[in-house]
Chains A and B, each alone.
Chain A
């Protein structure tokens, strides 16, 4: 009896298992990011949560005493906006400085790409991770706002999900910026010219209705405007079908930014 040599599998070599699907793959990348962060979570939490809470107290209560919106207190008006901006900032920082480091210096993406996990899963995993940080920031702002008696509707329970949505949108935008960045300096432009402008002109600090029509039209194109509108509606319990427009805008921006980010990250790593 002699078996053909083809059938003799080398001992260390096992039959390869089927590659993971898109969601499973993205979650593995998310888990890598989370495990890396765990060591630094204390300093990271202080950074992510300190600023929005300080803004809420200093601006909401300090400046707020001189503002009359007729009805709601200024702090009550401001809190959902601060929540949205905190979610935006958390995701934006992670998806620029964090993801760029993984893509270039640490070559983490190259390491993952040598496995059955592809570019789409890497980008999705990193986006999801950055958005997880948005949820943390959003929940912290929500807890403080609730403690301060600024939240009155049960719809506020949806706010962590809103923070997640804001997170994935801005993370995808951040990754797109990272995919085209040559150095860290590039992010200075992004944060100064895009993120800061949005911070001031997306209806966080004053109602957009007080702006001239042309400025309102520009503001309407900014993703943060829709994020703030959603957040404010949930915090106030003023939820209606109009929300679908904001939701649609955010999802459209997400799809566009994610698609472009996958394309450009791919161009960068596969050459």
Chain B
């Protein structure tokens, strides 16, 4: 076993009187893709800022590549790290290619090597055709890919991605996922935050769900689904008919692991022990969807359905 890439223990961050990260522990192993999930304001970005040397921690222990994250180690850590931030901060006055070349220069990569690396990254990000284009002519997906390519310019051992596909259409999102899986296979460790449960399920080996600055749960995607919601979900559309709603609840309650009554639907969670067939037979006349449980169910179960803004 090689040493962990990131070790986080009892990590806290306080701004004035508000504590936004309140004692977080996790470890990211070599070649692993690790996800930080949680609603807005859960403390994901702040955690990432502390790991990437952008924010001094208030308390706790934090090591990246085995080095304590403190000013004396910042440069060495950042030389081995790639960061794709949430907010695009490309250089608007430089071409696509120049953005990468200038960024390579910050790492002290010599000219010829930088040229070769940039050509390789443009290919990887499917941006070769756009090498001389201005940044403001790129689509959202192209910008996200360029930000990803830029984060790879120094061949990082750890890639930190803060919402890598937010705002992208499905095609663009799938292209980014494909590239990230490719990187994972090549041995790059990844730490990523996301709102998209499908993204976490597609990419992450392990993940934590954060809420209000704390870790609510952690494990593999399959493990979390099994543990918190069970295997299957039946969603019954009840409209605003109270009688119909009461009947569905009566059928479901004795048989399901958990039942959730929403304004116009009843959501029934079931694991292997539940009599799903029996329930489906009894509810045959209802308008329903029977599906496998997903991480989104875990997420909503653990962090609730109230809006976070």
Contact = CB atoms under 8 A, between A and B. Distances in A.
A270 B106 CA distance: 19
B186 A10 contact: yes
A108 interface: yes
A118 B151 CA distance: 17
B283 to A, nearest CB: 51
Contact of A270 (B1, B56, B94): B56
Contact of A36 (B93, B156, B157): B93
Q: Which of B1, B56, B78, B108 has the most CB of A within 10 A?
A: B108
A111 interface: yes
15 contacts: A10-B157, A12-B186, A13-B155, A13-B157, A13-B186, A14-B155, A17-B79, A19-B79, A28-B106, A35-B102, A36-B91, A40-B93, A107-B89, A116-B76, A116-B78
Given A17-B108, A31-B105, A32-B102, A116 B79 contact: yes
A182 to B, nearest CB: 18
Contacts of A24: 108
A114 B154 CA distance: 11
Nearest to B52: A114
Interface of A: 5-6, 9-14, 16-20, 24-25, 28, 31-32, 35-37, 39-40, 106-108, 110-118, 269-271
B119 interface: no
Contacts of A13: 155-157, 186-188
Mostly, the B contact residues are: loop
Given A13-B157, A16-B154, A28-B106, A111 B78 contact: no
Contacts of B54: 110, 113-114, 269-270
A28 B105 contact: yes
A114 B2 contact: no
Contacts of B80: 16
Contact of B93 (A14, A28, A39, A115): A39
B1 A5 contact: yes
Given A32-B91, A36-B94, A18 B155 contact: no
Interface of B: 1-2, 15, 31, 52, 54-56, 74-76, 78-81, 83, 85, 87, 89-94, 98, 102-103, 105-109, 151, 154-157, 183, 186-188
Contacts of B56: 270
Given A12-B155, A31-B102, A35-B98, A114 B85 contact: yes
Label chain A's interface by main secondary structure: loop
B92 A114 contact: no
A110 B106 contact: no
Nearest to B81: A114
Contacts of A12: 155, 183, 186-188
B165 to A, nearest CB: 19
B44 to A, nearest CB: 16
Nearest to B101: A35
A11 B94 contact: no
Contact of B91 (A14, A108, A118): A108
A111 B98 CA distance: 14
B302 to A, nearest CB: 29
Given A40-B93, A114-B81, 16 more contacts: A10-B31, A12-B155, A12-B188, A13-B188, A32-B105, A36-B94, A37-B93, A106-B91, A106-B92, A111-B90, A114-B78, A115-B103, A115-B106, A115-B107, A270-B55, A271-B55
